[in-house]
Structure 1
Amino acid sequence: MIDVVLKKGKEKAVLHKHPWVFSGAIDKVQGKPANGEIIRLLSSQSAFLAYGFYNDQSRVAVRLLEWEESIAVDAEWFRQKVRTAVAGRAHILADGDTDTCRLIFSESDYLPGLIVDKYAGHLAVQVLTSGMQNAMPVIIEELNALLSPLSIFDKSDATSRAHEGLETTNALLAGTEPPELVMVKENGITYGINIAEGQKSGFYCDQRYNRKLLASYAKGKKVLDCFSYTGGFTLNSLREGAASVTSVDSSALAIETLTENIRLNGFEASAHNAIKSDVNAQLRKFREEGEKFDIIVLDPPKYAPSRSALDRASRAYKDLNRLGMQLLNSGGLLATYSCSGAMDMETFKQVLAWAALDAGKQVQFIYQFHQPEDHPVRASFPEGEYLKGLLCRVW
């Protein structure tokens, strides 16, 4: 096994079990490991620190796996990590109201670069690191043994794969091709999702509890669901008796799927209005028309993929939330989210305070939203906490 030696004074994060080693912390590589190969990480004094995946094309040159020298990182090691992750989600699926969740969450489940989502009898995977790409035959074999899925579909289409020297893929890995719409349940609501063509792995299950909680306020209310995708907040609000829901998304496929989801659940179509549009443009149009709502949901895509983008992203979040606040009836509710890991909660609150000032509004923060337990946050890897949100009362 090839040794990678750290520069003097760069051991602290490794000793604290943080799983990333950046290229600038490396003093020397004693050999020529292939990208994705498992290496031994040594201190500047040649003491063993950990085993990890190596990749000289990535800014994160080593992704650490195991800190105990006597434990071999072999096929059984990967199998055990998969078994542990899957077992930890069993309770989510036990009551029959939900058959979709995240089974494996990358570094937070000690499998850096691997995401696995369960959609009823189908699995969708994203492989984001070269080391995990090498381990996929074992991973697929173990997933098949544990769950006997109808299909395992590869949705590794993230542009971040390029940083690992990997091409994007979108292909069947095991089983039979999934149908155009796979039927899943979340909180007792049925969704038809397009695994092959949908965004990311096909459905965002990280808002499961947030959708349910927000919908408890929706009875008799006029709701606006922005970046609605396939309708998570829309459908929960309709089920809880919203007077009307308007859904806005720029994707024609998302709007089409959302409309079909309303039909699948037998909700009153006349209570729903779907608009295919850029959200910011549509919010400005609503403002010009004097439109008002009782509840507004703002769940945008990732504006800050890295800390270097945080200033620009903060301005985008501020402008978006300012527009939302201006469209609320007095005392209305704004449920606003950020899925940018670089945006921490305190910064997000400050952005909303700026938005309120610009909008001429007073805002109360009445609840903080978080990602659910199938998206755990590892104590030594706070970067895993990416989803945060605030329920705001706006006057």
Structure 2
Amino acid sequence: MSDSIYTLTLNEGREKSLLRRHPWIFSKALSSIPSDLSSGDSVKVVSSQGEFLCYGLASPKSQITVRAISFDENIKITDELIADRIRQAVSLRKNVFDRGNDGVRLVSSEGDLLPGLIADKYNEFIVYSISSAGMERFKDVITKTFNEIYPNCSIYERSDTKSRLKEGLKPRCGVVCGKEPDDCIYVKEEGQVYIPVDIKNGHKTGAYLDQRLSRIKASTLSKNAEVLNCFSYTGGFGLWALKGGAKRIENVDVSENALSKAKAGVVFNHLDPGRCRFLKKDVFAYLREQVEKGVKYDLVILDPPKFAESAANLKKACRGYQDINRLGLKLVRKGGRLLTFSCSGLVDSALFQKIVSDAALDAGVDGRIISTLRQDADHVVSLPCPETFYLKGLEIAVM
């Protein structure tokens, strides 16, 4: 890794997004990229006229060649700056902890001006994921800072995302310091429900903390309801639906491991297993089967994985969202609700509403948007980076 700071120049007319403080600089925006620029190097970025725009961290193997860290020429990228950003991010989460949550996102990448770093706290474990070459350079600083903030916590790494490959980084997982987590731990949510979390082998860092508010919404709609919970993972929505008084719930997922943890979660929360079914099925296929049988539910929850991984497959992703919502809407009895979500950053709120509207038309269903849903407050949104507002949800009433 080079100790020098390169100055990279933007092509003429490509400074608009940086002037608005969007942190991504793509390779095509740069007039040239030095052949000896190393992953994680600090760089200074200037306009075609030589005016300072930002300091950033380089990733020459990625389409996003630079991620901006500082837009102030007097604030260079140092270990202390990264540590300060982490401390600031943690301080923003106090109100989420105060609500009775022991599972909280501490750092949310671009949302906290730390592109490529995600960190979640589950009870006495900090789990972080590094997905950019720039944050990889600061791994030791990240670990040291979390140790200082939470000296009694163990730290586990889940840097195994696909995006690391685009950065030229190998996947890395395991204990950084402290003890090994159990195969499943239970994390208190809103002081009421314990969510099963699989730190070592689960999705992301082990759980989907961003859906906390939507799980509470599901609970309010579940009294005496027959509920279909699709892409159920470890059963968070299902647990809240049972807590809300669901008469019957079907949790559907392709992962046997996730379903086994969902079953255990019902017992751990002292809820009634007799009201639950756990089905290892492809969700699309199961929805079609249920439509053909004429089955109806009071509440259908569609919380699929990210369909739009890149702009290249956006059209295909939109077709997938439309298909699954068409099927889901057909399964909701009149007077019931559909809770439907997209976690694809490339699918904005307006596009998602259009997709669901088209799905309702295809299904022959008259629906109304009762409320919009979104990621909880610990998954902060950066004003200049709209991609950080990635989780969109709609509560649809079927008329």
> TM-score if structure 2 supplies the norm length?
0.96
Is 1:268 the equivalent of 2:272?
yes
Is 1:335 the equivalent of 2:339?
yes
* Cα separation, 1, equivalents of 2:130 and 2:261: 26
Paired residue type of 1:109: D
Alignment: residue pair count:
394
Match of 1:322 in 2: 326
1:240 shift after superposition: 1.0
**CA deviations over 1:36-59 (Å, ceiling 9, x no partner):** 111111221222221101111110
Is 1:174 the equivalent of 2:177?
yes
Q: 1:30 to 1:323 in 2, by over 3 A?
A: closer
Determine which of 135, 138, 141 is the counterpart of 1:135. Answer: 138
* Cα separation, 2, equivalents of 1:244 and 1:155: 35
Match of 2:263 in 1: 259
Root-mean-square deviation (CA, aligned residues, Å) is 1.2
Determine which of 249, 254, 272 is the counterpart of 1:250. Answer: 254
Is 1:369 the equivalent of 2:379?
no
* Cα separation, 1, equivalents of 2:131 and 2:66: 14
Are the counterparts in 2 of residues 161 and 167 from structure 1 also a CA contact under 8 Å? yes
State which drifts further: 345-354 or 243-252.
Answer: 345-354
* Cα separation, 2, equivalents of 1:192 and 1:223: 20
**CA deviations over 1:113-145 (Å, ceiling 9, x no partner):** 000011111011111101100101001100010
Are the counterparts in 2 of residues 338 and 388 from structure 1 also a CA contact under 8 Å? yes
* Cα separation, 1, equivalents of 2:26 and 2:48: 15
**CA deviations over 1:205-257 (Å, ceiling 9, x no partner):** 00101110221011011111000111111000101111111110110011000
Match of 2:241 in 1: 237
Unaligned runs of 5+ in 1: none
1:345 shift after superposition: 1.2
1:353 shift after superposition: 1.5
Match of 2:306 in 1: 302
Are the counterparts in 1 of residues 42 and 58 from structure 2 also a CA contact under 8 Å? yes
Give 1:379-390 correspondences, 5 Å limit. Answer: 379-390=383-394
Paired residue type of 1:147: Y
Return structure 1 stretches of 4+ with deviation > 4 angstroms: none
1:150 shift after superposition: 3.1
Determine which of 43, 53, 60 is the counterpart of 2:64. Answer: 60
Determine helix, strand or coil for the equivalent of 1:267. coil
Determine helix, strand or coil for the equivalent of 1:84. helix
* Cα separation, 2, equivalents of 1:62 and 1:107: 13
1:30 shift after superposition: 5.7
Determine which of 149, 153, 175 is the counterpart of 1:150. Answer: 153
* Cα separation, 2, equivalents of 1:322 and 1:199: 26
**% identical equivalent positions:** 38
Are the counterparts in 2 of residues 3 and 30 from structure 1 also a CA contact under 8 Å? no
Are the counterparts in 1 of residues 147 and 153 from structure 2 also a CA contact under 8 Å? no
Are the counterparts in 2 of residues 2 and 31 from structure 1 also a CA contact under 8 Å? no
* Cα separation, 2, equivalents of 1:118 and 1:149: 12
Match of 1:201 in 2: 205
Determine which of 88, 97, 101 is the counterpart of 1:98. Answer: 101
* Cα separation, 2, equivalents of 1:270 and 1:133: 47
Determine helix, strand or coil for the equivalent of 1:364. strand
